[in-house]
Amino acid sequence: MTESTSAPQHATRPHRASIGLADGEVISVAHLAGDQVVMRIACPVVAAQARPGSFVHLRCAPELAMRRPMSIMRAAPAEGWFDMLFKVHGHGSALLAARRPGEAVSVLGPIGRPFRLAGYRRRPLLIGGGVGIPPMIFLAEHLRAQARDAQPLVLMGSEVPFPFTARPSAIMVAGLDPAAIAAMPLLDDWGIASRLASTQGYAGCFDGFVTELARAWITASGTPREDIEIFACGPTPMLRAVQALAAEYALPCEISLEEYMACAVGGCAGCVVRIETETGPAMKRVCVDGPVFDAARVVFDA
């Protein structure tokens, strides 16, 4: 959810007519601390079209008609699978977490306007909070493959145990406390710097909010402002803080909004938010007009 100094360049997002409906198959389910689940689903149509920031609308169980929106964490078009990370929060997600390998899952997607896919600045700053972490991993993998001149930094915050076993990073990051060295192993293996933040006292993590960690890096790293842009996904209080941080330092920023959804294909307008457009304020649907928006245009208090 970032833009360059010019208008943001997004890939054409799927419209309702091009959203696929298919039966996927559960490949694997990993139950993690904090009621978190990583699920891999075989679904070639979604894997082929998914982009960082897009999501799927799943039927969690045959007996539950109402679908649930889930962010895509990774996608492998050649192998035909995609990964999701979600937290068990209610009846639907509990039923989804109980699915077993080999079972069919009805998948609607991919849906939504993704993050910008090209024209990156040299130092993209990716900020993910809680269940907003998955799109940042997807975007980091895209940057690794498509923007080899970029040097992204991924900052992740969580108040429950992280959905991976953190390890000390082998990648040094200028401007950050060397004691806060915990990182995501997958990103380290990709050669992408990452750091973790929490107020829960987890070993090696920055003691505070992830936006405070972002501020520390922006102010102390010595990176020119014109080289930095921000992409973020997470709970609304975090996104408000990211929006304010980007405005304070005049940094382009894209954010992926989290909203409750019913249809998720733009029909019910139950997920609208106020966006300041070139022609004035408008109510936009998070599902198909977003979920990614220019942070400077989002009105959180509407």
What mean pLDDT comes out for the span 50-79? 95
Binned at pLDDT 50, 70 and 90, residue 261 comes out as: confident
> Residue 270: what residue type?
G
Radius of gyration of the chain (CA): 18
| 272 CB-near residues (< 8 Å, 6+ apart) | 283, 284, 285, 286
Examine the pLDDT at 108 and tell me if it is beyond 90: yes
Pick from 28, 153, 127: nearest CA to 85: 28
Whole-angstrom distance, CA of residue 188 vs CA of residue 36: 22
Mean pLDDT for all residues in the chain: 92
Amino acid 18: pLDDT: 63
Percentage of the chain beyond pLDDT 70 is 94
What per-residue string of b and e applies to 86-105 under the rule 16 or more CB within 10 Å gives b? bebeeebbebbbebeeeeeb
- Residues 47 and 80: beta-carbon distance below 8 Å: yes
Instruction: Give the sign of the dihedral formed by CA 167, CA 99, CA 132, CA 154.
Output: positive
- Closest C-alpha to 49, from 98, 84, 11: 11
Instruction: Work out the number of other CB atoms within 10 angstroms of the CB of residue 202.
Output: 18
Burial grade of 20 (CB within 10 A; 0-12, 13-18, 19 or more): middle
Q: Is the pLDDT of residue 287 over 60?
A: yes
Of 96-105, 179-188, 232-241, 280-289, least confident by mean pLDDT is 280-289
Q: What is the pLDDT of residue 267?
A: 86
Residue 10 has pLDDT above 60, yes or no: no
Model confidence at 302, pLDDT cuts 50, 70, 90, reads low
**Residue-range domains of the chain with CATH:** 16-111 (2.40.30.10)
* Percent of the chain scoring above 90 in pLDDT: 87
Query: Quick one: average pLDDT of 262-271?
Result: 85
pLDDT in tens, 189-213: 999 999 999 999 999 999 999 999 9
The torsion angle over the Cα atoms of residues 216, 222, 225 and 227, rounded to 10 degrees, is -110
Name the pLDDT band for 20 (thresholds 50, 70, 90).
confident
User: pTM for the full model?
Assistant: 0.92
